Structure 1
Amino acid sequence: MFRHGLKTGLALLLVAVCGAPAAEPGGEYAELEKTLRARVPQMSPDHIGPSPIPGLLEVRYGAQLYYATLDGRFLIDGSIYDLEKGRNVTAPRLAQARTQAISAFGEDNMVVFAPEQPRHTVTVFTDLDCPYCQRLHRQMDEYHAKGIAVRYVLFPRAQVGAPSYNKAVSVWCAKDRRDALTQAKSGAQIEAKTCTNPVEQGMQLGRMLGINGTPTIVTQEGRVLPGYVPPDKLAQLLDSGAQVAGKGQ
């Protein structure tokens, strides 16, 4: 079952982060890479390197992090805690993997609302019909006043071809995406359009990152903030580097 789940996740990664650079062949961990590719043939690891535990190596597929035995027989899915230092040593590595996956997806595939001189940039996975997503968007001027740029990844919480998915496609294909998104989030009817679009890839990226609700905010450092966070609180959070749980649908 685990192997099936891993393969399913990697199938999503193959589409969602197809622009990400693959691990270079050969090198110190060539044998382990060869073994993993044989056992999980959908794609090769993006990174193999040392872990904090002797005898285990860190293996990264897109934004998913695992630990493997040197012979490639066992793959461990979970976090490592350093009890002496009192910290989760996996969390920073996962955050880095998230930022790399989002970077590979690309800002060109997002709808961006930014002030003239942003101090912070967040990536927000959004559903056009989600009430808290709409609330966040109504306060865009307040986020901008705090120096926060918002990059939207269209993330309809419905299957491909459903009305909310088609609405997201129409927003992307509109002549003015920002205006179309604002109109759609206000409840206005927008013109149905189709074109080449990144909506399905954005959905796959979100699933690969473990996002299952909207809005979900991802900071530049790769920290995930599930739910709506008010402008003042988000600015405080981004300035301090602390984490907060928000509200969401």
Structure 2
Amino acid sequence: MQKFSRVVAVAALLGLMSHAGADELEQARKAIMDRFDDVKAENVEPSPIKGMYRVTIPPQVFYISPDARYVVDGEVIDLENKRNLTREYRQQSVVAAIEALGEESMIVFGPKDAEHTVTVFTDIDCGYCRKLHEAVDEYNEQGIRIRYLAYPRAGLESRSYQKAVSAWCADDQKAALTKAKQGEAIPNKTCDDPVTRHFQLGQAIGVSGTPALVFESGQVVPGFVPPKRLAAILNGKMPN
């Protein structure tokens, strides 16, 4: 609630409590794009706080004044409807960022017509990541498709990173990843791999440990969740 108070206070102090028309929106977009090289016009929209603009650079969301001078990084809460709007926008942004990677960059276990799809940031040498992978067939049986993104926790200079690159560059990615997660050696390979991009996205989302599960809603859930419990959560039968 303190973050929400700060957002309101900044908006009030700046005198930004009027609705922006189309011309004002275009002026604001120009000012913001001049300030931030990686922001496009479609990334800038009016926010729930009148006069402030919401900027989305997947997976980041922040609020900014029309002249691009003041930035507010915090949560916007709709008290009337009891909704955390920033969290909703951020989750939508996480989904967009993951889908922008393209499923062809992932190692996927399970059919396309599965009831649920869960994207998992995984480290080959992580014990709980290995435990999750041991149960991948059971996740599939529960109607859950598992899409792996690489997240070598030790960094991009680590042995875990090299193992991930070798798995993603293998002719049979699934077999190589499975062998590596079982502690078996796989042939060292290099290619135009997506591991660095996966790792950078995980950092941007705030992944700090593995496995990290991303639901179709964009919600990020840290840690191992057993197949039946995960199915119950996804089917709305059990809280996280």
* TM-score bracket for the superposition, by shorter chain length: 0.7 to 0.9
Question: Aligned-pair distance for 1:211?
Answer: 1.2
Match of residue 119 from structure 2 = 123
Match of residue 14 from structure 2 = none
Match of residue 231 from structure 1 = 227
**How far apart, in 1, do the equivalents of 2:227 and 2:111 lie?**
14
Superposed, 1:63-212 pairs within 5 Å as: 63-115=59-111, 117-212=113-208
Aligned residues: 219
Structure 1 segments, 4+ long, off by >6 Å, are: none
1:125–1:206 CA contact under 8 A, matched in 2: yes
Question: Aligned-pair distance for 1:243?
Answer: 5.1
Render the CA deviation track for 1:101-128: whole Å, top value 9, x for unaligned.
Answer: 1110110100000047411001000000
Match of residue 216 from structure 1 = 212
Structure 1 residues 243 and 155: CA distance shift in structure 2, 3 A: farther
Question: Aligned-pair distance for 1:31?
Answer: 2.1
2:76–2:84 CA contact under 8 A, matched in 1: yes
Identity of aligned residues (%): 43
**How far apart, in 2, do the equivalents of 1:47 and 1:241 lie?**
35
**How far apart, in 1, do the equivalents of 2:238 and 2:24 lie?**
37
Kindly indicate whether residue 55 of structure 2 is the aligned counterpart of residue 59 of structure 1.
yes
**How far apart, in 2, do the equivalents of 1:27 and 1:209 lie?**
33
SS across alignment from 1:38: helix
**How far apart, in 2, do the equivalents of 1:151 and 1:28 lie?**
42
**How far apart, in 2, do the equivalents of 1:180 and 1:123 lie?**
19
TM-score where L is the length of structure 2? 0.85
SS across alignment from 1:240: coil
Instruction: Specify every segment of 5 or more residues in structure 2 that has no aligned partner in the other structure, as ranges.
Output: 1-21
Instruction: Specify every segment of 5 or more residues in structure 1 that has no aligned partner in the other structure, as ranges.
Output: 1-25, 245-249
Render the CA deviation track for 1:86-109: whole Å, top value 9, x for unaligned.
Answer: 221211111111111111011010
* Alignment root-mean-square deviation, CA: 1.9
SS across alignment from 2:235: helix
- Structure number with larger C-alpha Rg: 2
